[in-house]
A and B are shown apart, each in its own frame.
Chain A
Amino acid sequence: MVQGFAADLHIHTFLSPCAGREMNPKAIVGRCLDLGLDIIASADHNSAANVEALAAAAEGTGLTVICGMEVCTKEEVHLLTLLPDLSAMHEWELIVAPHRATGRNIPEIFGRQWICSPRTGDITEETALLSAPTTLSVDEVVDGVDALGGISVPCHIDRRAFSIVAQLGFVPDHLDIPVLEISRTITATEARAKFPATQGRVLLSSSDAHTLEEIGLGCSLFWLEEPTFAELILALRGEAGRYVQVE
């Protein structure tokens, strides 16, 4: 029997240069538990270096952490890529890393990028340029993630910046894109009225949190038998009686 799980699948850790410095994995997990969230996903730009630390911080708490990365494609479209487990995410990161922009991060301009060790909690600085688009196309990301058993979700389609609808005009038919993310500033009803691309697709609302206060401001209720990735995928595809409920 399905039951409801509150999910926020778009949270930035302090690895994202634009995120608050308080966004360390332990603090994020603490805030999510306070809010009563059941499932979260990390969504750092072009890197999944803090996914393991986030999963480690959530261990034993009852909070489910999904492996995620927000990839910026060469068309400057943001895609939330969700992978089944740490090993698939590691493989995905090996594919993405060589396609990152060359050059190093300039902390004074873009912000700092911190990696938290899952074992010791030690913090090191990521020097790669994570804030720039990769050289991967939308098609390459969707197909690459599909091949690893994951799913790609176009982010904040209602915004002007980095939205697949704004950048590409519409969602290409040939791609496996069953679900679209809307930002917390728009309701599902408004999004469905405004964007034809929503027709026949599941909608997902997430916070895109860059600070602790923003976590959960956008969230979705997942109706699943248990909070696993396999069940989550069914809901994101609207299959087998699993579904996503958005305000």
Chain B
Amino acid sequence: MTVREIAAVLGMKCVAGGVGLDREVSSGYVSDLLSDVMANASDGGIWVTSQVHQNVVAVALLLDLAAVVIAGGLEMNEDAIARAEAEGMPILSTKMSAFETVGRLYELGVRGDS
């Protein structure tokens, strides 16, 4: 599934990086510890978090993730949005909790790297 399809099915809003929406999502990861994400998430993955700092975008770019989902209706920092937009890293926003978001992604067939 592409990031665009996931966003459409789950009613997520793309707040930045729309140019990257057609990328295929290969796996999923959820964590709010950026050091943990850096160590364990995989390229092409979709990352669910409630961190909104611009380091989120840097980590997503570093790992070449497909997209980041900001859960719980939190607003991402403006500088982070600007960076994601400039780099084409899709940032999806949802009011759903991280738990609910991950559950829905799993239902859609997204899996973690075990």
Contact = CB atoms under 8 A, between A and B. Distances in A.
Interface residues of B, number: 15
A168 B77 contact: no
A138 interface: yes
Interface in B45-68: 51, 53-55, 58-59
A169 B59 contact: yes
Is the contact region of chain A dominated by helix, strand, or loop, or is it mixed? helix
A170 B55 CA distance: 8
A158 to B, nearest CB: 12
Contacts of A167: 32-35, 51
Of A137, A139, A165, A167, most B-chain CB atoms within 10 Å = A167
Contacts of A75: 51, 53
Contact of A169 (B35, B77, B79): B35
B35 A137 contact: no
A234 interface: no
Contacts of B36: 166
Contacts of A166: 33-36
A21 B104 CA distance: 48
A107 interface: no
Interface in A158-202: 165-170, 172
Contacts of A172: 53-55, 58
Interface of A: 75, 137-139, 165-170, 172
Given A75-B51, A167-B51, 10 more contacts: A75-B53, A137-B77, A138-B53, A139-B77, A165-B35, A168-B53, A169-B37, A169-B38, A169-B58, A170-B55
5 smallest CB-CB distances across A and B, nearest first, come from: A169-B34, A168-B55, A166-B35, A169-B38, A168-B34
